[in-house]
Amino acid sequence: MTAIITAELVRSLRERTGSPMMECKRALEATGGDIEKALAELRKSGRMKADAKAERVAKEGVIIVVQDGKRAMMIEVNSETDFVARDSAFADFVKTLSATAWQLNVKSVDALSPLPFQNPVAMSVEEARLGLIAQVGENIQIRRLVNCQVENGIVGTYLHGQRIGVIVALNVDDQALARDIAMHIAASKPVVISPEDVPAALLEKEKEIYQAQAASSGKPKEIVEKMVQGRVKKYLDEVSLLGQPFVKDPNQTVGNLLAQRHAKVLAFYRYAIGEEAA
């Protein structure tokens, strides 16, 4: 005897999975109205859909930042299109995901995936991601996560819309300064904190370029060497936070500003949607 699939049963399964009504109905029909078996069927279907979409590029999405003073967390969640990034189901997923990661003090995406998704439904973060893929029809990726905490000092954050996020850790308890530095990092995109932090291999590559450019000028060797040194210094200032002109006062560098406040940047993290991973 064929099981009667009621609207109430379909609604119940939809509430538990977020899957479209017709998919819920088909899963219930295939499992004779057994909601637990239908739930497993939808999860299998979600995995199949996720596998099929796994190679599709997901470079849209949102960045979410959570902060409490001495700890901050930043997560990038990607979708394929901006349309889905603005979808309410995607927004709900990101909101719950960030709450889960924050409450459980997660340190990485790998550690987050198997954890229980913090809502009334008994499923893992990974199962919730698969369910969202099935629901919106796009590849959804939890791309990266950083959890920054200091014992002495403070963390500051800045979020530009939901497309650029920054966390910066200072050794002093100055929230306004931390936010200003975070805002500067969002705008100026430093690569390292100080010139000394620039990797030697990268610096050598830049030197080779400058030497080739200067040599073609036909100027004497000693002049060429000074030209190279000047360009290297300019490069180091451009890519290092301390050497950059402060966005709110270009007449001073970030390094000078920090020195005036007796402050030091301990670490910073900058995420921009869809950028190449560092």
pTM higher than the cut 0.75: yes
- Give the per-residue pLDDT at 11: 81
pLDDT (tens digit per residue) in 2-43: 567 888 888 887 777 666 777 778 878 888 888 788 777 776
> Domain spanning 60-188+266-272: which CATH class is it, in words?
alpha beta
* CATH 3.30.479.20 residue ranges for the chain: 60-188+266-272
- Give the per-residue pLDDT at 236: 85
195-257 belongs to CATH 1.10.1020.10: no
pLDDT (tens digit per residue) in 151-160: 999 999 999 9
Number of H helices and E strands in the chain, helices first, is 11, 8
Q: How far apart are CA 228 and CA 211, in angstroms?
A: 6
* CATH 1.10.286.20 residue ranges for the chain: 195-257
Q: Fill in the amino acid letter for 260.
A: Q
* CATH 1.10.8.10 residue ranges for the chain: 7-53
pLDDT (tens digit per residue) in 47-74: 545 555 555 657 899 999 999 989 999 9
Q: What is the mean pLDDT of residues 183-190?
A: 97
pLDDT (tens digit per residue) in 65-124: 999 989 999 999 999 999 999 999 999 999 999 999 999 999 999 999 999 987 666 688
Query: Which CATH number is associated with domain 7-53?
Result: 1.10.8.10
Task: Give every CB contact of residue 248 below 8 A, 6+ residues apart in sequence.
Answer: 180, 183, 184
pLDDT band, residue 174 (cuts 50/70/90): very high
- Give the per-residue pLDDT at 1: 45
Task: Specify burial of residue 93 (Cβ count, 10 A radius: 0-12, 13-18, 19+).
Answer: buried
- Which tokens is 110 given? 């790998």
Q: How far apart are CA 148 and CA 268, in angstroms?
A: 9
Residue among 125, 100, 248 at smallest CA distance from 185: 248
229 or 104: whose pLDDT is higher? Answer: 104
253 pLDDT above the threshold of 80: yes
* First-residue to last-residue Cα distance in the chain: 59
Q: How far apart are CA 84 and CA 80, in angstroms?
A: 7
- Residue-wise DSSP of 129-179: HHHHHHHH-S--EEEEEEEEE-SSSEEEEEEETTTEEEEEEESS--HHHHH
